[in-house]
Amino acid sequence: MTAGTLPNLSAQDQQEIRPGPDKERTLHIAILLATRNGAAYLPEQLASYAAQSHADWSLRVGDDGSTDATRDQVAAFGRAHPDHRVALEEGPRAGAAANFLCLVERAAAETPGACLAFSDQDDVWLPEKSARAIDRLGQAGALEPGGPVAVHVCRTRLTDARLNPAGLSRLPPRGYDFGNALVQNVLGGNTIVLSPAAAALVARTVPAAREAGVAHHDWWVYLVVTGAGGLVLSDPEPGVLYRQHGDNLMGNHGGIRTRLKRLEQVSRGLHARWIDSNLAALDRVDTLLAPAARHLAARFRDARRRGPRALVEVLREGQIRRQTPNGDRLLHWQARTARL
């Protein structure tokens, strides 16, 4: 198989699953979908794009070597919706973060002026998700030429594998800022919609993020957007049915199983290694950060290098913190035990 071709698809489907006519890009949403063996749930997610009340969308799929019916399902969806551009591409096969970041880089270059929306393969979008994102971004002036860097996120309605409701995701009680982003990700990656300026900014950082081995695309977006002084627009209304099942990469931020998994990641030093990668990538793109963020990242990096006492002193200043007092206590414990 030659580089860039996809098995199980015709030559026509491999080229692209036919674009419709060009649309007005100011309100266009390019949906970015990372797939890998997602056939069990993918048809419902694809159908939910078609049911969006905001009809100006395209779909770009990065597939990381699926061996099930995923690619055939995407191809069939594209043929069923010829008025929308549906493109299926070979993913980097280096994990979900790399897949999404590559999609951002390509989409920002090929659809300038579009909003970019991240999508997981096993969720279902509620019909007003895209429209609400466009409305909130528009109110913030983020759809105008030269508009601010902004990211829209929304709550999710948690469900089981069969979409039976199981509650709502939690809102971050302390809001969104760069100091929090240095040590914690609270953006729901499966809800992210980037403004055109945010899409262009994040795309510029993709080579640095991939070179540093950034492990989480949504955490990276949180760092870059807040580090550049951008806006995080949070919608308290749910826009996504978020399946909780055994194959979730992470799961709901507030779930007990996920909390236990995160504690294990902290104790094994995995969380610290993720921060290593994030800081290495930020160092490569520090000219894109606001001066205050650049200074805070440098102080955090230097304190980690100097050791636990210096790190605890920086944390006591309160700029670098998690979302809850218990989270802060965990963070200080990580610092004292060289796990941060």
Q: What CATH number corresponds to the domain at position 91?
A: 3.90.550.10
CA distance 92 to 105: 13
CA distance 169 to 167: 7
pLDDT by residue (tens digit) across 97-108? Answer: 999 999 999 999
Q: Of the residues 190, 216, 250, which one is the last residue of a structural domain?
A: 250
Containing 25, the helix (H) or strand (E) segment is none
User: Which domain does 80 fall in, by range?
Assistant: 11-250
Per the model's pLDDT, the better-predicted residue between 303 and 246 turns out to be: 303
The answer to whether residues 63 and 82 belong to one domain is yes
pLDDT by residue (tens digit) across 167-176? Answer: 999 999 999 9
* Helices and strands in the chain, H and E counts: 13, 9
Dihedral, CA atoms, 39, 44, 45, 47, nearest 10 degrees?
Answer: 120
Within a domain: 16: yes
The answer to whether residues 226 and 282 belong to one domain is no
pTM, two decimal places: 0.89
The tokens for 114 are 């579009």
The answer to whether residues 238 and 269 belong to one domain is no
* Residue 286 DSSP code: G
Q: What is the pLDDT at residue 266? A: 73
The band of 268, judged by pLDDT with boundaries at 50, 70 and 90, is confident
The average confidence (pLDDT) of the chain is: 90
Q: What is the pLDDT at residue 30? A: 98
C-alpha pair distances (Å), 204 with each of 117, 178, 198, 209, 331: 17, 19, 10, 10, 31
Within a domain: 196: yes
Is-contact 71 224, C-beta < 8 A?
A: no
The answer to whether residues 97 and 234 belong to one domain is yes
The answer to whether residues 154 and 58 belong to one domain is yes
Q: What is the pLDDT at residue 4? A: 33
Within a domain: 285: yes
The band of 17, judged by pLDDT with boundaries at 50, 70 and 90, is very low
Domain count, the chain: 2
The answer to whether residues 267 and 186 belong to one domain is no
- Which residue is listed with tokens 């510029």? 204
The answer to whether residues 177 and 38 belong to one domain is yes
The answer to whether residues 296 and 147 belong to one domain is no
Dihedral, CA atoms, 34, 35, 41, 44, nearest 10 degrees?
Answer: 50
Please check the confidence at residue 248 and state whether its pLDDT lies above 60: no
Closest Cα partner for 287 from 302, 275, 297, 299?
Answer: 297
Closest Cα partner for 168 from 248, 255, 246?
Answer: 255
The answer to whether residues 266 and 146 belong to one domain is no
Q: Of the residues 218, 250, 282, which one is the last residue of a structural domain?
A: 250
Please check the confidence at residue 1 and state whether its pLDDT lies above 50: no
Q: Of the residues 250, 269, 289, which one is the last residue of a structural domain?
A: 250
Please check the confidence at residue 9 and state whether its pLDDT lies above 70: no
Per the model's pLDDT, the better-predicted residue between 86 and 255 turns out to be: 86
Within a domain: 1: no
pLDDT by residue (tens digit) across 183-206? Answer: 999 999 999 999 999 999 999 999
The mean per-residue pLDDT over the stretch 287-312 comes to 98
Would you tell me the crossing angle of helices 291-306 and 217-227 to the nearest 10 degrees? Answer: 120
The answer to whether residues 243 and 279 belong to one domain is no
Please check the confidence at residue 2 and state whether its pLDDT lies above 90: no
Within a domain: 300: yes
The band of 255, judged by pLDDT with boundaries at 50, 70 and 90, is low
Please check the confidence at residue 60 and state whether its pLDDT lies above 90: yes
Per the model's pLDDT, the better-predicted residue between 235 and 267 turns out to be: 235
The band of 26, judged by pLDDT with boundaries at 50, 70 and 90, is very low
The mean per-residue pLDDT over the stretch 9-23 comes to 34
Q: What is the pLDDT at residue 252? A: 53
Chain centre distance of CA 309? 33
The band of 19, judged by pLDDT with boundaries at 50, 70 and 90, is very low
Please check the confidence at residue 7 and state whether its pLDDT lies above 90: no
The answer to whether residues 160 and 245 belong to one domain is yes
Within a domain: 255: no
The answer to whether residues 93 and 123 belong to one domain is yes
| Residue 194 zone, left/alpha/beta (φ > 0; ψ -120 to 50; rest) | beta
